[in-house]
Amino acid sequence: MYLSKSYRFIRRGLHQKAFLTNVLKSRKLHGGGSAYAALEQLRDIAVTPEQPELYHDAVKIYNPAYSLEQPAFVAFPKNVEDIKRCLKIADKTNTPVAVKSGGHCFAGYSTTDSDGFVISLKNLNQVHVQESTVTVQAGACWGDVYSALDDTDYVAVGGCVPAVGIGGYILGGGYSMLSRAYGGLACDKALSFTMVKADGSNVVRASAKENEDLFWALKGGGGGNFGVMVDVTLEVSPRPKQFIWTRLIYNTTDQSEQGLRVVGKNLHNFPKELNLDMALHGYFGKKTLTLDAVYSDVHEDAVQSSLESLHPPVETQPQVFTSFLQFSTEYSKRHGFVHQEVEPIYVKGVMIQSLPPSLAKYFAHVEIPPECLLEFVHMGGDIARHSVTSTAFPLRTAQYSYYTYGRFHNPAQREEVLKFATTTYNAVRESGCALGSYVNYMDRHLKNWGKNFYGVNYPRLCEIKDKWNPLGHGSLHFQQEVGSSWEP
Ligand SMILES: Cc1cc2nc3c(=O)[nH]c(=O)nc-3n(C[C@H](O)[C@H](O)[C@H](O)COP(=O)(O)OP(=O)(O)OC[C@H]3O[C@@H](n4cnc5c(N)ncnc54)[C@H](O)[C@@H]3O)c2cc1C
């Protein structure tokens, strides 16, 4: 099932229009069926394959590995009433639905096949700035928030890439290069959520005072599980005048091993004001370790000795940004091929709580295929200030989020990427320093995924899920939803 449809069509080299014609011929749109019955009642907000250009745009998702699993239609709610209507009609006609905010899910769960339809929140993208809070609709992206805050004295903890959507990101926890110094994950900054219940019957609010169980679950319990999140109100932080970004480069295997060893040794001593993302690249044709140090003018003194202790063979001139939007736009381009939104990819990762010398050696010496990147995103700092059970996100003791990002253009490359990602994942697990995997790096190949994503919080999460969106009821469900027994 995985990728098979995509590959059939990519291999045949079918033009998108020809593909859509095929879809039209074979789909229930011309027959009866539940999706057709749902469409009949949602035509005023629906885009169908009969409008090829609009449909082509409407079904786009970040990872094209799943983008040819074409839904019967895409509904674009204009308000909460439309969302309720979509869910009620889906329920009544027994039609599966998937919700899409930014469409960045690595495993394609914000789309569905021709038996179902997508509720795209693209038109619900308002950002409302109050004094020290900001209310954001789920269909906005982080760039919208950064842009709205750039003229204020505040900054939000949000995605490193401005194009990433609010909805899926925050429901999975959401880390940022500001997380360590500015209060933790994006979900830790959430003051309240508005959600349409999965059966479309009602709109509820979740906060520390209302529906506390749901509030806990929405902070890291994962997208698509409890209902359709409409908006979130976030606490924002006073913003520094400047964001500073310096890159440290280690050009040989020996240098890379040395760099990783020093990071491993100092892992628990880095000041929280320093964010130090690392990457090992295969695509320059030689092994390169890069360390991207991010801090603010307020914290410049606090981070200097740590940066010096890393003994970088090459250090780039610091880049200084006054606009957070501009900074995140530039920062998100740091790995070249990543985040292009045009190539099928596979991402597999696990969070680690230490980086022992044996693992530093393994990573420095492992042969990385040219289409792969190993990334280590800095965790710890204020993320660890919150207890493991304070929200549904359980991986609080992690120091790094490690993952392989691999792109592929043909089945042979796909096999190579999957094999490499799995081999490195297994090596990290065997090293004994791995915790679980991050639910926002959703992975259809992950075994025992419920425990892996949610750890000790899984039993409580299953109970809350059962209350708000029980398995077997309604239409908002997917393979790896909380409580599902599906295994790859
Ligand atoms: C380029 C890129 C950069 C990234 N950078 C970061 C980063 O800096 N930090 C980080 O923590 N993660 C990052 N991620 C991972 C990211 O958090 C997840 O991909 C996340 O799912 C994206 O949210 P979305 O709204 O775009 O996703 P979508 O694909 O729209 O949704 C993801 C899941 O949530 C569900 N969902 C979406 N909206 C709602 C809603 N309103 N209510 C209920 N369910 C919903 C979907 O059905 C799907 O199951 C990145 C991903 C990419 C592709």
Residues 49 and 132 placed together within one structural domain of the fold: no
The pLDDT assigned to 30 comes to: 38
Our answer on whether the CB atom of 110 is closer than 6 Å to any ligand 1 atom is yes
- Is 164 touching ligand 1 by the criterion CB < 6 Å? yes
How many angstroms does the Cα of residue 103 sit away from the middle of ligand 1? 7
* Same domain, residue pair 200 and 272: no
Residues 153 and 91 in one domain: no
Domain identity same for 185 and 210: yes
pLDDT of residue 337: 56
pLDDT at 13: 30
CA of 168 from ligand 1 middle (Å) equals: 4
What is the spatial order of strands in the sheet that 227-235 belongs to?
Answer: 127-129, 133-137, 227-235, 190-197, 203-207
Tell which residue, 217, 226, 195, has the closest CA to residue 83: 195
109 Cβ below 6 A of ligand 1: yes
Kindly report whether the global pTM for this prediction surpasses the value 0.95. no
Atom of ligand 1 lying closest to residue 226 CA: 43
Q: Are residues 54 and 202 in the same domain?
A: no
Looking at residue 378, its pLDDT comes to 97
Nearest Cα residue to 473 out of 41, 202, 112, 90? 90
Tokens representing 92 are: 């009544």
161 lines ligand 1 (CB under 6 A): yes
Among protein residues, the one with the nearest Cα to ligand 1's atom 31 is 168
Do 88 and 159 lie in one domain? The reply is no
Q: Between 411-430 and 357-365, two packed helices, what is the crossing angle to 10 degrees?
A: 160
Which pLDDT value is given to residue 138? 98
Structural domain that includes position 100: 28-120
Q: 351-365 burial by CB neighbour count: b if 16+ within 10 A, else e?
A: bbbbbbeebbebbbe
Largest CA-CA distance found in the chain, in angstroms, rounded: 69
Residues 339 and 445 in one domain: yes
Which pLDDT score is estimated for 339?
Answer: 56
Ligand 1 closest atom vs CA 227: 43
> Among 90, 120, 150, where does a domain finish?
120
Q: Give the Cβ contact number of residue 11 at 10 Å.
A: 10
Q: pLDDT digit of tens for each residue in the chain (488 aa)?
A: 333 333 333 332 333 333 333 333 334 343 446 899 999 999 999 999 999 999 999 999 989 888 766 899 999 999 999 999 999 999 999 999 999 999 999 999 999 988 899 999 999 999 999 989 999 999 999 999 999 999 999 999 999 999 999 999 999 999 999 999 999 999 999 999 999 999 999 999 999 999 999 999 999 999 999 999 999 999 999 999 999 999 999 988 888 999 999 999 999 999 999 999 999 987 655 678 999 999 998 877 778 888 888 887 777 888 999 999 999 999 988 876 555 566 888 999 999 999 999 999 999 999 898 888 999 999 999 999 999 999 999 999 999 999 999 988 889 989 999 999 999 999 999 999 999 999 999 999 999 999 999 999 999 999 999 999 999 898 999 999 999 999 99
Identify whether 482 is part of a domain: no
Report d(CA 87, CA 38) in Å as an integer: 10
Distance CA 73, CA 77 (A): 13
* 167 and 112 within one domain: no
Cα–Cα distance for residue pair 78/46, rounded to 1 Å: 11
Asked if residue 171 and residue 90 are part of one domain, the reply reads no
Report the residue among 109, 124, 142, 164 best suited for mutation to probe ligand 1: largest number of ligand atoms under 8 A from its CB: 164
The CATH number that applies at residue 348 is 3.40.462.20
Q: Are strands 117-120 and 97-100 parallel, antiparallel or unpaired?
A: parallel
Instruction: Tell me how far the alpha carbon of residue 373 lies from the centroid of ligand 1, in angstroms.
Output: 20
Regarding whether 139 and 285 lie in a shared domain, the answer is no
Could you tell me which of 38, 30, 131 has the C-alpha nearest to residue 89? 38
The reply to whether 164 falls in a domain is yes
Query: Is the CB of residue 218 below 6 angstroms from any atom belonging to ligand 1?
Result: no
Whether 193 maps to a domain, the answer reads yes
- CB of 363 closer than 6 angstroms to any ligand 1 atom: no
| Cα 375 to Cα 126, 249, 338, 379, 401, distances in angstroms | 32, 14, 11, 12, 8
Quick one: 378 and 271 in the same domain?
yes
Number of the ligand 1 atom closest to the C-alpha atom of 185: 11
For the Cβ of 99 lying below 6 angstroms from any atom of ligand 1, the answer is yes
Does residue 151 belong to any structural domain of this protein?
yes
Is 102's C-beta closer than 6 angstroms to any atom of ligand 1?
Answer: yes
Whether residues 57 and 183 fall in one domain: no
Per-residue pLDDT at 185: 98
Name the domain boundary from 239, 258, 290.
Answer: 239
